[in-house]
Amino acid sequence: MIAVLCPGQGAQTPGMLTPWLQIPGIASTLKSLSEATEVDVVKHGTESDAETIRDTAVAQPLLVATALATARELLGDALPAVTAGHSVGEFAAAALSGAITDHEAMRLVTVRANAMAAAAAAAEPTSMAAVLGGDPEDVLAALAALGLTPANMNGGGQVVAAGAKSAIEALVSSPPARARVIELQVAGAFHTETMQPAVAALADAASSVRPNDVAEVLLSNADGARVFDGAEVLGRLVSQVANPVRWDLCQQSMLDLGVTAIIEVAPGGVLTGLAKRSMKGIPAVALKSPADLDAARELLEAHA
């Protein structure tokens, strides 16, 4: 059984779409997806610099479009046996599962991105930081003492803290024992109460979507649970904005389901890296360039 995974914000890099545009199917898909959003994903994926694509309003549609275009090239219209996405990647995963259409995913993620950027700008300065290593109880205690939220529980000894920028700076300067803390270049405290204003905006946009029930396995960021009901999928996509991502539980669910291989669609690398620590021994391919497609197809054939 193979799982197809979609990466989240932070995976983007300048020029990442340039080599993929040499494949006619991907180029046409990206053009179509750009029409469903106010963001020119092709331009940003080929010409824009790191600072530009770090902007939440640009990064999120760009990531979802890239994930969908490369997944469609690999899978066609076939449904993955298991699919999941980290944070914004969950919108691409929902489309790959058939719960929503690709264009609906792009429309919703554009609303999400703009609303999250606005919520961050309206709040007191907030930030996020990756905490790598350390005893899990010590890490969570340190976050609680500073009033920070474990916004991403990624497994493999990685937790992303979110909250007031001053508290994040204090965590960086005085990390938990045996842990490293790296402040992230993000607009604000994603997946916390700071993002609550964005929930209302996304809920309003989602109200016009008529989702489908899921035939295969779609895992939820909220708790790693398998979600069948289309309305529930949509509701979880909305509430996810202001709630923690439990990628550790998604990985555990994949192990429990008997997943035997992983493909991470472009821009791949982050989630397969986490899987190496939390899902040891499971073969994985990350789509970083078109050169990785053959290996991904071989993995599909061997584990489908």
What's 116's domain CATH number? Answer: 3.40.366.10
Cα 279 from Cα 172, distance rounded (Å)? 28
Residues 131, 134, 136, 141, CA torsion sign:
negative
- Which of 106-110, 123-127, 215-219 has the least mean pLDDT? 123-127
What distances in angstroms separate CA 43 from CA 21, 67, 104, 107, 128, one per listed residue? 11, 16, 21, 18, 28
CATH of the domain at 153: 3.30.70.250
Assess whether pLDDT exceeds 90 at residue 304: no
Q: What range defines the domain where residue 153 resides? A: 124-183
* Total of domains in the chain: 2
Give the mean model confidence (pLDDT) for residues 27-56: 93
77 confidence band (pLDDT: 50, 70, 90): confident
The catalytic residue positions are 87, 191
Cα 254 from Cα 8, distance rounded (Å)? 18
Q: Do residues 157 and 291 share a domain?
A: no
Give the count of beta carbons closer than 10 Å to the beta carbon of residue 57. 18
pTM for this model (two decimals):
0.94
Q: Is 136 exposed, middle or buried (0-12, 13-18, 19+ CB in 10 A)?
A: middle
Q: Do residues 81 and 12 share a domain?
A: yes
